[in-house]
Amino acid sequence: MAQIIRLKRSTSSGTKPRTQDLETGEIAINVYDGKAFTRKSGSVDEVVEFVSTNTTTAISGDINLDGSVTASYFVGDGSQITNITVDQAATSKKTFTNQSTWVVNHNLNTLNPIAQVYDSNNYQIIPESLRITDSNTITITFPRQETGYAVVAKGGHIVSGSISAENIDGLSTSILDGINATGAFSGSAQISLSGDVTGTADSTVISQIDGGGI
């Protein structure tokens, strides 16, 4: 007749066998948490846990993997991630203490990062200078020693060139004729008008046009 083999087991949440509970190589399971354990041999005599994706409680301790990891999403601030190439929309957070010059290595591989600096109370700091040293390094200087953190994100690119009337909806071509936008959209845009201006406009805009404000 068939025989049932039952491993050592526990039905209490969070319980884990001790070394004195298992022989080397013996397996025990926690049927409440859905976890399995074994006592291993080697330089350290300890009980280790088998990793399972079907668990409702967090896995404690370090996990060392040799190979690729594929996941549907990542949860965390990413501050301890190293030796990777981060794709766009990722951020890097680096803390500093009593520094007047702080070099941030971010691994975002871009010459157009978005960088902001905050003090230890989460108030934004306006640095004395912020230099993009290279595609993975930013050098920040302060007028005095500061303590806080810098957040760097992969941003967009400087926009320059012309805007054609065909690419903007909702504006009259008589206004759009001759528009030229330059810079990074953080400064001003130069607009030249030709032809008649038709339609209605806010009185403030009209006064700016009459007074040469645009």
- Collapsing DSSP states into helix, strand and coil, what is residue 95? strand
Q: Which token pair is 188?
A: 């001003």
- Cα–Cα distance for residue pair 46/30, rounded to 1 Å: 17
- Cα–Cα distance for residue pair 206/99, rounded to 1 Å: 50
Q: What is the pTM of this model?
A: 0.35
Q: How many residues does the chain have?
A: 214
Q: Are residues 136 and 107 in contact, defined by beta-carbon separation less than 8 angstroms?
A: yes
- Cα–Cα distance for residue pair 157/90, rounded to 1 Å: 16
Strands 179-181 and 129-134: unpaired
Render each residue's pLDDT in the chain as its tens digit; 214 residues.
677 878 888 999 888 899 999 998 899 998 888 889 999 888 888 998 887 766 666 667 777 778 887 888 777 777 777 766 545 446 788 899 999 998 988 888 888 888 899 999 999 999 999 999 998 999 999 999 999 999 988 865 444 455 454 545 555 555 445 444 444 444 444 555 555 555 555 555 555 555 555 4
- Cα–Cα distance for residue pair 56/62, rounded to 1 Å: 18
